[in-house]
Structure 1
Amino acid sequence: MKGAGFLLAFNLLVLASSFVSAYDPSPLQDFCVAIDDTKNGVFVNGKFCKDPKLATANDFFFSGLNIPKNTSNYVGSAVTPVNVDQIPGLNTLGISLVRIDYAPNGGLNPPHTHPRGTEILVVLEGELYVGFVTSNPNNRLISKILYPGDVFVFPIGLIHFQQNVGKTKAVAFAGLSSQNPGVITIANAVFGSNLPINPDVLARAFQLSNKVVKYLQSRFRSF
């Protein structure tokens, strides 16, 4: 029985370790520069890899995060991503970066999640109201006002947001623990899905009338 118990425990540990590494896997080489060449590349972590002897500095380089982006949109923010799509050398390295610009007086990075990455954000300019909501059943809001030089962490998968509560523009940079963390903007996904979710489902879920749900769906489909 002791042997059977050890075997069961070992199998459980193996299973647990497979879940732990279910996000970006640890690289087994120095780097794996992503390319679109399906003939000569080696497929690793969702991308084909360039021969490492052919890698150049530009495979690990991005320029332009110093340039402010246009925030004249309906939420008043703009996100500049730097992930594996912008820097192919990030493939298998498990990190990425974004710049976020916020319009004055309420510019918002709306409630969203990153299904594959924890985010750590640092404020460069302005004042941001930030927060995240814990999972069911508590759904507790953890929030804070941030100023230049302040840092805040958003745990992987949890709904979070940032809003400019100052009268001037705000700028923040954020690092994420994935080469491609993904983003699900809650309102867009729920009310702007393609194809639309049945209004009866959303009316019951959000305790709204079908008329209000259809109006919201029409608004988000137009963006």
Structure 2
Amino acid sequence: MELSKICIIFSLLVSFSSATTSVVDFCVADFNFPVTPAGYPCRNPANLTVDDFVFSGLGVAGNTSNIFNVAVTSAFDLTFPAVNGLGITLARLDIGVGGVVPIHSHRVSEVILVTEGTIIAGFIGSDNTAYFKTLNKGDVMIFPHTLLHFQVNVGDSPAVAFVSLNSANPGFQFITTSIGANNLPTEIIQKITLFDAAQVQKVKKLFGGTN
């Protein structure tokens, strides 16, 4: 599926988190100032060109040489400042054979469109019900905001998917790295996860945690 068609589909699918009427047409992020709950301050429109509204990074496969065999290429506010304040984001997922996007959550909802390969995707409701399904090229699935979700490549070739989220910076919190990349004492993690000490230490070693 052509990248232009993908973008059109996501433009139609994304649901905006607010119906508030804007008093400006756009607000390309100005990184000279700190971010606020409403996003970054706006650059002066007089200094903008059409190139500020174009992002070309999603046409190139990401590097999947990591423990999860996955790459996420994002068009978020920090990489695509034009989405600042617009309540929309795009990202490309490259998932190698056997690769996974580990269980994680966002502040906002997500739509995924598979363009190559076969994956199992799913989320877990707040009542612990698991909703998961094998997705093939052209399939679309929604992940409601804040709920834990994941993707696993179950095919015999690399998979590619594009996601859209209704925030300029949706935030990612991966459960595994959240446990392993900090200085929370092992004995506390054992109590709150039911992992044994060896499992906790293994995860901490992988992600740079201490204690």
Q: TM-score range by the shorter chain?
A: 0.7 to 0.9
- 2:129 maps to 140
Aligned pair in 2 of structure 1 residues 190, 198: CA closer, same or farther (>3 Å)?
same
Q: Tell me which of 78, 88, 91 is aligned to 2:84.
A: 91
Aligned twin of 1:129: 120
Task: State the partner residue of 1:78.
Answer: 71
Partner Cα separation in structure 2 for residue 170 and residue 148 of structure 1 = 9
- Structure 1, residues 139-178: CA drift from partner, whole Å, max 9, x if none? 1110000000000001111110001000011000000000
CA deviation digits over 1:60-114, x for unaligned, max 9? 111131111221211011000001112211111000000000111x111111111
Q: Distance in 1 between matches of 2:46 and 2:191?
A: 58
Confirm whether residue 118 of structure 1 aligns to residue 105 of structure 2: no
User: CA separation in 2, counterparts of 1:126 and 1:22?
Assistant: 31
Match for residue 30 of structure 2? 35
Runs of 4+ in 1 over 6 A off after TM superposition: 21-25
Q: C-alpha separation between the residues in 2 aligned to 1:155 and 1:26?
A: 24
Larger Rg: 1
Count of residues in Structure 1 that have an aligned counterpart in Structure 2: 193
2:184 maps to 1:203: no
The equivalent of 1:5 in structure 2 is none
Q: How large is the Cα RMSD of the aligned pairs?
A: 2.3
Cα distance in 2 between the residues matched to 1:200 and 1:26:
50
1:154 paired residue among 130, 143, 157 = 143
Gaps of 5+ in 1: 1-20
Q: For structure 2, list consecutive stretches of 5 or more residues without a partner in the other structure.
A: 1-15
Higher mean C-alpha displacement, 106-115 vs 44-53: 44-53
What do the CA deviations read for 1:2-58 (whole angstroms, capped 9, x no partner)?
Answer: xxxxxxxxxxxxxxxxxxx998976331111111345xxxx8923121122332112
Q: Which residue of 1 aligns with 2:154?
A: 165
Residues 25 and 73 from structure 1, CA distance in 2 versus in 1: closer, same or farther, beyond 3 angstroms? Answer: farther
Q: Does 1:214 align with 2:206?
A: no
1:108 match: 100
- Measure the CA separation in 2 of the matches of 1:90 and 1:217: 35
Q: 1:65 to 1:24 in 2, by over 3 A?
A: farther
Please tell me whether the aligned partners of residues 126 and 170 of structure 1 are also in contact (alpha carbons under 8 angstroms).
Answer: yes
